[in-house]
Structure 1
Amino acid sequence: MYENVPRGTKRKITMFTDKYDVIVVGAGHAGSEAAAASANMGQKTLLITMNLQNIAQMSCNPAMGGIAKGQILREIDALGGYSGMVSDTSAIQFKMLNKSKGPAMWSPRVQSDRMLFSEHWRDRLEQTENLDFYQEMVSGILVENHKIIGVKTSLGLKIYAKSVVLTNGTFLNGLIHIGDKNFGGGRAGERASTGITAELIDLGFEAGRMKTGTPPRVDGRSLDFSKMTEQPGDEQPGKFSYLDSTQKLSKQRSCWMTYTSPKVHDLLREGFDRSPMFNGRIQSIGPRYCPSIEDKIDRFADKDRHQMFIEPEGWKTVEFYVNGFSTSLPEDVQFKALKSVAGFENVKFFRPGYAIEYDYFPPTQLKHTLETKLVKGLYFAGQINGTTGYEEAASQGLMAGINAALKNQEKEEFILSRSEAYIGVLIDDLITKGTEEPYRMFTSRAEYRTLLRQDNADIRLTEKSHDLGLATDERMQRLEEKQSKTKAFVEFFKNTSVTTTEINPVLEAKSSAKVNQQGKLFKIFARPNMDMGDMLQLQSVKEFVKEHKVDEEVLEQVEVQIKYAGYIEKEKQNADKLHRLENVKIPMNFDYSQLKSMSFEAREKLGKIQPRTVSQASRVSGVNPSDISVLLVHMGR
């Protein structure tokens, strides 16, 4: 195609004449958050994906949040990301998990309408300024002098940019397995992406293979739910986003629970010789904490049954997701075994489960900004870094998009510490420890989980986001109002006394020891068996709540701060100790070989990973306290 120019000359028209600030490759959860973040920070951004109809598609289960993942989603929302808002507007059920435990363990989770989720994500992205879209496969990257300058596509187009974020998910040389059959694909019905892995290896990157899987999808009309246990949502459902623009659910859809059985296990074992997991066709490692049903049967042979959660895919569809039955067994084996599960006697498949192998790049090759160490301006986010889960991917995409924008603007990088966010724990684990199996976030991975609760993500992160230009003034106003009301209410409990006449009936009803004299409300509320509902029976508390228009968020925040004050203060002190080591910076490209008193393993691993601080160095696998002592002495500490 040519444009009109003076006679005798012809100039080829290019589709992309302008240079972008940021190009994001892949429009899954990581890519969508990365594109939104960079565009909202004023960067001219291009989002390239192989299929624009599948933006932010839920490739596996139709749910967001859960243990630790719910905390991450709240953090994404506090940082100005879209995942929390989209989860709220597409939710069909809400549950707060672990309510029987302490607030550090409370984890919000929603079942989502799969089609609405993707639709709402695309709608939000299309309303985002500075963001362009293009549908095609990216087959390679353009690099000059160890710096990214753009990407090239399967049609031969070259598109130039200052920074590139790769979020390829399971598409890099993806290979789908169903029994003894396998074929190329990034997920069911979509082709794999080729070319990028080979180029990155040529540039000096180390690559590996990982595996994940997904269960069958079935027709709900063929199931007998009377043989299963109903799993309804919370009576008073919450939501993820701190903004008022998303509403809580007024109606919900239930999930259902059933179990496998010894008969089901025997039927599945009949196909083990045709399983790619057991016959050697799959060599890569799958997710430890989300094993396939055949893996469960093999590893936990003493268990005669395993839970299965039957989850609706949306408001208007009859399709259900069979959670707990991930498998790569032959389709006939899957079908035969499922028919022996209670409630599945007449089951009809929408599609069988499958496993997928794909390329990833060990994340120790990245900086904490998620920029690669080998190529400036090139960022990796999501499953390309060896993680599993929508939330883990989305948080990496957000951080990569933020840091790509900051680098282009020649501003200071944005890194969250382990005591500031689960996102900080996730990225620090990946960069300093690496992973040889799909990494999944758990609350147990965080040393300071009492500080990193789902209820205070806005307090921890909104101001930082506002400084970046992501969190709106509306968010800051809401946060300031919440903090002001919380502080005033805590002070009210500290300074207000209650008479024995008023408090003893409440204490007696809770089988708590009565008091002999008037005392402060704070001391009463701090008792383990007292909760906010008990305190709201007191007239003075009711009047304060009414007068100051205290909402549920403030009520929850005050209860946590009062009842867990001692634990929170202790963790703050521990975090402060960690920060002292975080402040001890290690020079760039430090030569660890000169530290002869340090173990060889420590010198080798620290030299490869190049941690930024002594604290990060202490978390590198194979580095022991004596090695850190040597490093501190060398640095004059």
Structure 2
Amino acid sequence: MFPQYDVIVVGAGHAGCEAAHASAKMGSKVLLCTMNMNTIAQMSCNPAMGGVAKGQIVREIDALGGMSGIISDKSMIQFRMLNRSKGPAMWSPRTQNDRMRFAEEWRLALENTPNVDFWQEMITGLIVKDKRVTGVRTSIGLEILAKSVVLTNGTFLNGLIHIGEKQFGGGRTGEGAARGITEQLVQLGFEAGRMKTGTPPRVDGRSLDYTKMEIQYGDENPEKFSYSDETRPLEKQHTCWITYTNKEVHNTLETGFNRSPMFNGRIQGLGPRYCPSIEDKINRFAERERHQIFVEPEGWNTVEMYVNGFSTSLPEDVQYEAMRKIPGFENAKMFRPGYAIEYDFFPPTQLKLTLETQLIENLYFAGQINGTTGYEEAASQGLVAGINASLKVEEKDPFLLKRSDAYIGVLIDDLINKGTEEPYRMFTSRAEFRLLLRQDNADLRLTELGHKIGLASDQRLEKMIDKKSDTQKLINDLKQKKLSPEIINEGLENLETATIKEKVTIDKLLKRPQLGLKDIMEFDNEFKQYLSKYSKEVLEQAEIQIKYESYIEKESQMVEKLSNMENYKIPLSFDYLSITALSAEGKQKLNKVKPETLGQASRISGVSPADLSILTVYLGR
């Protein structure tokens, strides 16, 4: 009935979709297995992509040739660049999306990708021979063979939904849990754990009073995620709103705490630290009199609203009563209550940097199964797992991203070396080279790598090369062209920055925090005319590179120093336990993670500088 596939992807969420698309585009024969074909790429939580650090990840996925950026652009209803008031390392694109269109665009993209087949059924187990995966088993007993398998099960592995004192099995509301895989993996020697996440109620937008809320508009000049010409910025945008809880809301919520699964011990798994439930927020931050609530449309044409900031697992009657005390929600009609969900995950220290498991060859994990939270984190792992599954089938070198290459590299390195005991979310603060890993230069960093493995198109590469060339030419010109005092001093005075006494090159002027290219363009019409031949992206890139030149240079030097350790390979068979000089914890952690390089070993929690020195000596021998 089935041919032998190169790659089977189990699960069709954000990780599964990226894995299937990447493997197929690289030439592998792919089967995407899902319990429900109608929920491919479902946005289970909020209808949005990107945000702080997450927007950088979406840009990186796009630069490598993945689809999340394009799908987000095609389904967006609002665009905002967050943190514009801060430096460019912090700028983070975010889109509000049409939930139904997002899922539809992903499904259409996969159906139009050659080499992707689909199968709708629960996968209950793996076929494993001699510590190598050779296929999957389905709930009706079918065996489908493959050279590699990527597990992207999301919250479905033994998923348990909680609403107050009620609990029932499910991967998300209205869908059943997946059973069998966890139990088999544990028998094979894998360590498993439990995590928790949650979602807020959905309400009828027609029942809300928006006059009592603050309007949140999109950017005046919206951008987009994808570097390709396949998508365009929005011409019109949907409005979002902001309102706040109050003491009355908090008091009402507290009446249900004794029936809350989070407080009565029913929920064992740890929830996301940076996206807590509303009951967790008012418990942990008791001194705060209010918390922000974002009211987000689920799409262009639906009346359904997402109540961002009101995630909860309290009884539905308490949710309803408390929500109606939020300004603008006095007459709110609930579509469905919020809930918490517990699910199985596998500590990611059991993986290689390719996301292949250490115990079973050709088996890859991606997404929430690795303990992460967020669409973007999941999608990036799916992309990397799909790429490496395809490369291994073709017996080619693995695809690895370093911490200095991408936020995706930081994410995977953190997971493999440090593990996680709570849902892992990406932040700019996790990246030590964040000035190099900006959202604006993801194409310059990664498109060539994506093209080399057959994922990014020739057109993408050519566009990136043109951008790089134009940027460098403009930077060179800005370092040569001078402006005289009589042309610019009046403008400098208006901007409250020091005037000049002699001609100054434009690059030196740009290093002033008060000045940007837009300001300097207004000083000199001839210069303005000259700049008009360059795209907005090139102008922005040149300005950032000049303005932060010394800082970028320092970070680049740090990367160069650390790369020596990254290039120092450690044999997979290296016997850490035989080195008596290593600390007991160092031996244990090194033996568990089995780092591939000295640089990776240096980032493992519990490996001391002394352990690293001893290891260096032994490797030298």
The TM-score normalised by the length of structure 1 is: 0.97
Deviation at 1:543, TM superposition (A): 2.5
Task: Give the C-alpha shift of residue 555 in structure 1.
Answer: 1.0
1:47 aligned to which of 19, 28, 32? 32
Map of 1:215 onto structure 2 = 200
1:356 is aligned to: 341
- Tell me the alpha carbon deviations over residues 444-478 of structure 1, each in whole angstroms, 9 at most, x when there is no partner: 00000000000000000000000011100110111
Q: Does 1:270 align with 2:219?
A: no
Which residue of the other structure, out of 533, 539, 557, is the alignment partner of 2:541? Answer: 557
Give the drift of 1:594: 2.3
2:571 aligns with 587
Instruction: Give yes or no for the alignment of 1:344 onto 2:307.
Output: no
Pick the aligned partner of 2:418 from 433, 437, 455.
433
How far off its partner does 1:528 sit?
1.1
Of stretches 62-71 and 590-599 in structure 1, the one that deviates more from structure 2 is 590-599
Find the counterpart in structure 2 of residue 206 from structure 1: 191
1:318-342: per-residue Cα shift (whole Å, max 9, x none)? 1000000000000000000001111
User: Please, which of 96, 114, 129 is the counterpart of residue 81 of structure 2?
Assistant: 96
Distance 2:507 2:518 in 1: 14
The within-5 A match list for 1:565-584 is 565-584=549-568
Match of 1:482 in 2: 467
Corresponding residue for residue 74 of structure 1? 59
1:467 aligns with 2:463: no
1:122-178, Cα deviation, whole Å (9 max, x unpaired): 011111011111111101000000001000100111000000000000000000000
The reply to whether residue 59 of structure 1 matches residue 44 of structure 2 is yes
Rounded to whole Å, the distance in 2 between the matches of 1:541 and 1:598 is 63
Matches within 5 A, 1:70-149: 70-149=55-134
1:539 aligns with 2:525: yes
After TM superposition, the structure 1 = structure 2 runs for residues 448-527 of structure 1, keeping only pairs within 5 Å, are: 448-527=433-512
Residue 160 (structure 1) aligned with residue 145 (structure 2): yes
What secondary structure is seen at the aligned counterpart in 2 of 1:447? coil
Which piece of structure 1 moves more, 495-504 or 86-95? 495-504
* Counterpart in the other structure of 1:6: none
1:504 shift after superposition = 1.0
User: 1:383 aligned to 2:365?
Assistant: no
**2:224 is equivalent to residue 224 of structure 1:** no
| Number of the residue aligned with 1:328 | 313
The alpha-carbon deviation at position 542 of structure 1 amounts to 1.5
Deviations 1:480-503 (A, max 9, x none): 110111011101110111111112
CA distance in 2, matches of 1:541, 1:392: 42
Specify the SS of the correspondent of 2:620.
coil
Whole-angstrom distance in 2 between the partners of 1:376 and 1:541: 60
The match for 1:633 is 617
Kindly provide the amino acid, as one letter, of the partner of residue 161 in structure 2.
Answer: I
The 10-residue stretch of structure 1 (211-220 or 492-501) with the greater mean CA deviation from structure 2? 492-501
Aligned to 2:162: 177
Alignment partner of 1:635: what SS?
Answer: helix
Q: CA deviation at 1:244?
A: 1.2
Matched ranges for 1:291-302 at <5 A: 291-302=276-287
Match of 1:393 among 378, 381, 391: 378
Query: Which residue does 2:292 correspond to in 1?
Result: 307
| Match status 1:603 vs 2:592 | no
**Cα distance per residue 1:424-461 (max 9 Å; x no partner):** 00000000000010000000000000000000000000
Q: Give the equivalent residue in structure 1 for 2:230.
A: 245
The letter for the 1-side match of 2:65 is G
SS of alignment partner, residue 536 of structure 1: helix
Report the counterpart of residue 181 of structure 2 in structure 1.
196
Superposition deviation, residue 614 in structure 1:
1.0
**What is the CA distance between 1:589 and its match in structure 2?**
2.7
Determine the structure 2 residue equivalent to 1:370: 355
Displacement, 1:626?
1.3
Runs of at least 4 residues off by over 4 Å: none
TM-aligned CA deviation for residue 112 of structure 1:
0.1
Alpha-carbon deviations, 1:363-407, whole Å to 9, x = none?
A: 000000000001100000000000000000000000000000000
Which amino acid in 2 is paired with 1:616? Q
Partners of 2:589 and 2:332 in 1: CA distance = 52
- Unpaired runs of 5+ residues, structure 1, are 1-14
Shift of 1:636: 2.2
Secondary structure, counterpart of 1:43 in structure 2: coil
Rounded to whole Å, the distance in 2 between the matches of 1:629 and 1:393 is 35
- How far apart, in 1, do the equivalents of 2:601 and 2:28 lie? 33
Letter of the 2:515 partner, please give it: M
| Equivalent position amino acid for 2:474 in 1 | F
Q: Tell me the amino acid that sits aligned with residue 610 of structure 1.
A: K
**Cα distance between partner residues in 1 of 2:109 and 2:550:** 42
The alpha-carbon deviation at position 44 of structure 1 amounts to 0.4
Distance 2:472 2:438 in 1: 18
Match of 1:423 in 2: 408
C-alpha distance in 2, partners of 1:570/1:470?
32
Partner SS, residue 311 of structure 1: strand
**How far apart are residue 200 of structure 1 and its match?**
0.5
Tell me the CA shift for residue 541 of structure 1: 2.4
Partner SS, residue 479 of structure 1: helix
Provide the C-alpha distance between the structure 2 equivalents of 1:541 and 1:130, rounded to a whole number of angstroms.
51
- Residue 229 of structure 1 deviates from its aligned partner by 0.5
**Structure 1 position 248, deviation (Å):** 0.2
| Length-normalised TM-score, structure 2 | 0.99
Mapped to 1, the partners of 2:527 and 2:122 lie a distance apart of 61
Residue 255 of structure 1 and its aligned partner are, at CA, apart by 0.9
Letter in 2 for 1:593: L
Aligned-pair identity (%): 65
Shift, 1:526, TM fit: 1.3
CA deviations on 1:514-563 (whole Å, 9 max, x unpaired) are 100112111111111101211222234223223xx211111110110010
Which residue of 507, 525, 529 maps to 2:514?
529
RMSD of equivalent CA atoms = 0.8
SS at match of 1:309: strand
